Structure 1
Amino acid sequence: MERVRGAGTVLVVLVVLGAPPAAGEELSGVFEDMAKHECHFINGTERVRFVERLIYNRQQYMHFDSDVGVYVGDTPYGEFQARYWNRIQERLDYFRAQVDTFCRHNYKVFTPFSVERRVPPSVSILLVPSSSQPGPGRLLCSVMDFYPAPVQVRWFQDGQELPEHVVATDVVPNGDWTYQVLVMLEIPPRRGVTSPCQVEHVSLEHPLSQQWEMPQDIVCSKILVGVGGFVLGLVFLVLGLGFYLREKRLSRRRLQPLPVASGPAGIPQSIPTQSSSYSTSFQNAKNYQTDLRTKKNQGDLRVKKNQMDLKAKKDWVDLRAKKNWGDLGTKKNERDLRTRKNRVDLRTKRNQTNLRAKENRGALRAKKNGTDVRVKKKQVELKDKTKQVDMRAKRNREI
């Protein structure tokens, strides 16, 4: 079933209190009265149905269906209005004729860019960072600028479809008679595993597939991080082991007893030792240990600083992604506002055209009425002249 809708919207804002509000005051109430026109086509223009819907504050209170031919009330107030409008035969004839004058006529206009129009999609795959889940990120398949709206996007991995690990947005209109959709794969990418995104659309003769493989820079960065961590750990292990063996050797030398010898007067004398050299080496060892601790603390500070920088960069990327999503929402709202404005303009132009047509019909009726009055006047004059002629004839006969 092909369906083309022509809709016009008229917004009426009323103030409940009656007087216009002064500057700075808020409105006490806002009400919306909308008329919506629809054309339903079945098998082209073989069968056409025109529907007018009258809505007040998002509630339909009356509608006109060309298959029924009269207004039908959907609420008690709508039933009252339907009885009034059904008594105006000219209005009923006008809306019954909309099947041909509005629907079938506009079908020829809308068909080239609404029914027969085909715009193939453009497909790209992006690696989006994820702050809530570990890993390098998630794959996002972006399908842009296609028409009509129905489209099917599927993710594959090693030749198998992944229907359960996919999150997709709604098909979003761009405002220029094209659409877009985003489909994310929740499984993180792995090295050596291909993840193609396949798109099927009526404008494509064959499904369009876009593959993604992990870039070499990501693989190299992971290898470098692993090798750097291993080398750093090995250096700390060697330094710690050397420091432990040095301390153990120095402690053994300090615990050895010093030999005692007797002097010439029987006074015990100690054998000269290298205590000063030992104290100097011990102090050097302490200084070396202090330097090692200082270097280790500096290394820890650098690691913490790098971690904080990575976290800040990750937060910045998340903020930028959120901002991009917000910009997409803002653009969508602007497109919706433009579409609504265009619909209001179309409705206004149509109302102006209807007013001109009514004025022309009124002028034609006025001319017709003037002509009828002149004809009647001439008929009366002819009757009077006929009576006068008859009177004269009677007088002549009597004479």
Structure 2
Amino acid sequence: MRTLGLGLVLVGFALCCVSSKDVYVFQDIDECEFSKEDLSDMVYTVKLVFNQKLLCSYDSRLEKYVGYDELGIRNAEHYNNQSWKMKQRKEELETICRANARLYIKSETRKVPPVVTVHSNSKARYGQLTTLECHAYDFYPQAINVTWLLDGSEVTGDVVSTEFMDNGDWSYQMHSYLELVLHRGVPVSCRVEHSGLEEPLVTLWDSTSLDTRIIKLAVGCSFFLIGLVVALSAAYLHYKKQHRGKPLPLLVRK
């Protein structure tokens, strides 16, 4: 028989009274048990315990209290004669047990895959130490595995830190940071494994911005060189035009 999680099973209370000689503890323990997904076999029990001794209990299958000693029998008869309490116990089979069991089952079967992004910090440069960031957002359940791949091989030693956060709305996020020296043409990716994914999700770090920066620098240098050549050519042509037909000055050695 499958039992609900501890937070759903124990919905009772405990009272403690202390005298000069003895300590008295009274407990009310409510339990919900089931084995079928449709909850048709749900059993609701309420146990009244005094100093670790079971006095009486309510069982939804019997729809009444049963006492186990003289005091427990008297209490059971008293409760069974209270129509409002019997009605309340029957309603609690639905409002306490089945309602919470549905939430429990839903939480067990609910799977939300993570949204993954990978990017570098603003100071990323080829040939320099750089920190890459892999972010996995809004996934459920919380079990997740995040690893880094360098040219297809798993990286472990250079992982700076990994942060796990609870969003507070039954979803989670994880952040992993990798510190390494970037090399052009060597792919870096983040692999995420989660029950909400049919297969591991591999997200490649997009080096476009870094490559674009290099291309812009190369284009800028090219235009500078072209401009320099044009300027020198123009200066040479201007010089030729100004000195056309004039004899070149002779250097006379004294």
Give TM-score, length-normalised by structure 1. 0.34
RMSD: 4.7
2:26 matches 1:85: yes
Determine whether 1:167 maps to 2:155: no
CA contact (8 A) 2:163 2:176 kept: no
Amino acid at match of 1:172: M
Kindly report which structure 2 residues correspond to 1:18-167, keeping only aligned pairs within 5 A, or say none.
Answer: 38-39=7-8, 50=10, 83-85=24-26, 91-92=48-49, 101=93, 104-129=97-122, 135=128, 137-167=130-160
Report the CA distance shift for 1:81/1:52 in structure 2 as closer, same or farther (over 3 A): farther
> Which amino acid is the alignment partner of residue 10 of structure 2?
F
CA shift, 1:175, in A, is 2.3
Shift of 1:108: 2.5
1:218 aligns with 2:218: no
For 2:104, what is the secondary structure of its paired residue? helix
Q: Percent identity?
A: 26
For structure 2, list consecutive stretches of 5 or more residues without a partner in the other structure: 29-45, 61-91, 226-253
Alpha-carbon separation, structure 1, partners of 2:4 and 2:160: 29
Rg (Cα) greater in structure: 1
Deviations 1:201-258 (A, max 9, x none): 0111111111124222132255468x59x98xxxxxxxxxxxxxxxxxxxxxxxxx9x
* 1:115 counterpart SS class: helix
What is aligned with 1:194?
A: 187
Quote the offset at 1:168 in angstroms. Answer: 3.9
Alignment length (residue pairs) = 167
**Does the CA contact (< 8 Å) of 1:158 and 1:193 recur in 2?**
yes
Hey, what's the Cα distance between the residues in 2 that align with 1:198 and 1:222? 32
C-alpha distance after superposition, 1:94-139 (max 9, x if no partner): 99769995874344221343111011111111212369xx937421
- Contact 1:129 / 1:136 at 8 angstroms: preserved in 2? no
* Counterpart Cα distance in 2 of 1:185 and 1:103: 47
Alignment CA distance shift 1:169-1:94 (3 Å): farther
Does structure 1 conserve the Cα–Cα contact (< 8 Å) formed by 2:145 and 2:192?
yes
Query: What is the match of residue 346 of structure 1?
Result: none
Instruction: Judge conservation of contact 2:4–2:104 (CA < 8 Å) in 1.
Output: no
Structure 2 CA distance for aligned equivalents of residues 158 and 94 of structure 1: 68
Partner residue of 1:316?
A: none
Matched, 1:207 2:167: no
* Code of the aligned partner of 1:219: I
The structure richer in strand per residue is 2
Q: Distance between the aligned counterparts of 1:188 and 1:117, measured in 2?
A: 40
The structure with higher relative contact order (CA 8 Å, sep 6+) is 2
Cα 1:86–1:149, aligned 2, differ >3 Å: closer, same or farther?
A: closer
CA contact (8 A) 1:129 1:137 kept: no
Q: Provide structure 1 residue ranges, at least 5 long, that are not aligned to the other structure.
A: 6-37, 40-48, 54-63, 65-70, 232-256, 258-399
CA distance change for structure 1 residues 144 and 184 in 2, over 3 Å: closer, same or farther? same
Q: Is the 1:191–1:213 contact (alpha carbons within 8 Å) kept by the matching residues of 2?
A: no
Whole-Å separation in 1 of the counterparts to 2:56 and 2:213: 66
Asked if structure 1 preserves the Cα contact closer than 8 Å seen for 2:158 and 2:180, the reply is yes
1:165: Cα distance to partner? 1.3
- Listed one character per residue, the Cα deviations across residues 162-192 of structure 1 (whole Å, up to 9, x for unaligned) are 0121134332122222111111111143211
Structure 2 residue matching 1:125: 3-state secondary structure: strand
